[in-house]
A = this chain, B = another copy of it.
Amino acid sequence: MWRAYLRMQRAIEVALVRQLGETGISRTDFEVLVPLSEAKDRSLRVRDLASWTGWDRSRISHQLRRMEERGLITREDVADDARGTMVRLTDKGYEITVAAAPGQVETVRRVLVDLLDPAEIDQLTTIGERVATAAGYANLPYPDER
């Protein structure tokens, strides 16, 4: 089972990366772009991006610096908290995101969901939630749900 799990994991990861190949963004970029594209004003505080992605502040900061250099996002000060930084998606960043998103969803469907029958989808959901919960991973990586 462990071997099967490892191969499945690698297969899915490779498929997702490959699909993103020609879009000009990486899987890591995508993790930041998606919450931004869905957020009000296409902008979020760095803090919220961190809890959304589950990354630490340092990683977020480095990632944002690189994305800012590429013109995907901008950074501005937060009005009511002088410590904070607002991250805003540029038009370019937004366009790239909406262009890339369907492909990622389609890939998950193609390499995973479509291969499973409804019972198996339930099984994988059950297993995944139990394993994550037992390890202390709450059901909610998203800010709104905390």
Contacts and interface: CB of A to CB of B under 8 A. Distances in A.
Interface residues of A, number: 38
Nearest to A15: B135
A124 B5 CA distance: 7
Q: Which of A14, A120, A128 has the most CB of B within 10 A?
A: A128
A12 interface: yes
B7 A127 contact: no
A79 interface: no
A54 interface: yes
The SS class assigned to the A binding surface is: helix
Q: Which of A3, A121, A132 has the most CB of B within 10 A?
A: A132
Interface in A122-140: 123-132, 134-137, 139
Per assembly, the copies of the chain total 2
A81 to B, nearest CB: 29
Given A4-B126, A8-B129, A12-B131, 5 more contacts: A3-B141, A8-B127, A9-B9, A10-B132, A11-B137
A112 B131 contact: yes
A7 B126 CA distance: 12
A129 B120 CA distance: 13
Given A131-B111, A131-B112, A54 B4 contact: no
